[in-house]
Chains A and B, each alone.
Chain A
Amino acid sequence: MIAAVVPITLGGLGSNTAAQSSANHPKRDSIANVKPFRSRKPAAPNVAGRSGQPGATPDQDPVADSLRRAGNGDHEAFGRFYDQTAAVVYGIVLKVIRNPSLAEEVTQEVFVELWRLAPRYDPTLGSPQAWSATIAHRRAVDRVRSEQAARTREERDAQHQAVPHDNVTEEVVIRLDHERVASALGQLTEIQREAVTLAYYGGHTYRHVAKLLDVSEGTVKTRIRDGLVRLRDLMEVNYD
């Protein structure tokens, strides 16, 4: 049974109706053990650093600059880093958790963790946007897989409450990114798109995604991988 098809039109990304995760892993791993990663692009100015310019070097990227200074204990710089990344961090946390007050709480935890980890951020290993999004997504997923959060989500779904996601105050550039990603998602096969979005936006394990889509776990693993490869190529083409 296909439990959810995540809409790909502009604005549709906010109305996630994916079935509930029954995953039951109340013990959270610390996000501190997120491994370093290497960037495909030294800094991805199109993700969260709205003021970043295409082609900017890491030194010129204002998000990387804020993070580097924050890593030296500069609270003011961390405030700028917050301004540069909060919409994406809060957005993905809210997307996965779907409860605004819990998402706010988790987002605060994420930023405190980013502050603690900032001295260890290595710009040669990945963009600040990927670093912060990775930590935020993991924290959100770990939280939502705890029993209590899962119950909260079920209650919310039972009440058919929509999360007020597409805020009118969002900047135009966010909507452009939204359209760009939606367009790329639209060019995936149906099963690739569902596997990627149920896993990433829905916070489901690939095993659970397999159940939701009624396909084998091996298929889901493969579709997630080739879906991500296709997305990367599509977005790179669109961006460059």
Chain B
Amino acid sequence: MTNDQHHLSGAYALDALTPEERRAYEAHYPTCELCLAEVNDYRETAAELAGAAAATPPPQLKTNVMAEIATTRQLLPTLAEPEVANLAKRRSRIRPALVMAVAAAVVAVLGTVAGLRLGQNQPSVDTLLAAPDAVVTNLEGDAGAVTIVWSPSSQQVAVVANNLPDPGPNQTYELWFVVGDGVVPAGLFIPESGTIAQVLEVTDVDAVGWGITIEPAEGSDQPTGDILYRGSI
């Protein structure tokens, strides 16, 4: 903690720091009694400045907001703040170009698969991709790439690929969350003709990466096969 950071409380409360300074200050002030008290205080004062700028919003805005929240899932109340910050970091890593590329890949795969078996109850990979906290990760492996789309708030993961080898009789692919001290199962999937576009329901895990193995048909609690695909979030 440098003395200089104490002087940033006012500028922080007014969002007048650069992104780098903001990140540094957010790592500091919750642990600094003086800064925390000042930031809290200045935010209330800033809210009064906001009140003085009040203006009547366009009438259609409420309709649009209510329509959007009708299909927007709320965050879980139990997540601690640091995890919220982590979600924010994950989200900031999504590059629009990558999202577009994945969206195109998803459309291509869905186009292929749709005629096979996904005519009803189509897993909404594209809906997941549109989630505000969607994290897209491309996993590298010997047999090409697998794309993972994860929305922690939706508690869903999509697996998208179109050239996966068959896992073999009585075997399945298993997706793993890579966490700080090991892996956690994220779900099973079996491609059809090498193609997969499947949404898996998952629990909330603070994952740092992904892994994919081939496991016995019922899946495993811990990987028994080699990690065929991996990637960092």
Contact = CB atoms under 8 A, between A and B. Distances in A.
Contacts of A209: 16
A64 interface: no
Given A33-B26, A228-B13, A91 B68 contact: no
Interface of B: 7-11, 13-19, 22-23, 26, 29-30, 36-58, 61-62, 64-66, 68-70, 72-77, 79, 81, 84-85, 87-89, 91-92, 132-133, 153
A192 B9 CA distance: 15
Contact of A30 (B47, B55, B92): B92
Given A75-B66, A86-B62, A115-B74, A137 B54 contact: no
Given A25-B19, A73-B74, A207-B18, A88 B88 contact: no
Given A41-B44, A169-B56, A30 B7 contact: no
B75 A165 contact: no
Closest 9 CB pairs of A and B: A181-B52, A225-B10, A30-B88, A90-B57, A119-B77, A224-B10, A92-B50, A33-B88, A199-B16
Given A33-B88, A46-B51, A86-B57, A108 B74 contact: no
Interface residues on A, range: 35 or more
Interface string A2-39: 00000000000110000000010101111111011111
Contacts of A127: 44, 47
Nearest to A225: B10
B51 A129 contact: yes
Given A82-B62, A108-B68, A206-B16, 10 more contacts: A32-B84, A40-B41, A47-B50, A88-B53, A120-B75, A126-B43, A225-B7, A225-B10, A225-B11, A231-B45
Contact of B46 (A39, A48, A86, A200): A200
Contacts of B13: 228
A62 interface: no
A113 B51 CA distance: 20
A142 to B, nearest CB: 8
Nearest to B36: A38
A114 to B, nearest CB: 9
B116 to A, nearest CB: 35
Interface string A155-172: 000000000011101100
Given A115-B74, A126-B43, A221 B11 contact: yes
A154 interface: no
Contacts of A178: 52, 54
A201 B57 contact: no
A120 to B, nearest CB: 6
14 contacts: A32-B88, A35-B30, A90-B56, A104-B61, A107-B61, A112-B72, A115-B74, A120-B75, A130-B47, A141-B15, A181-B52, A182-B52, A207-B18, A221-B7
B26 A137 contact: no
A35 B81 contact: yes
Contacts of B52: 13, 177-178, 180-182
A220 B11 CA distance: 9
A88 B54 contact: yes
Contact of B51 (A32, A75, A181): A181
Interface centre among B13, B29, B89 (most CB of A within 10 A): B13
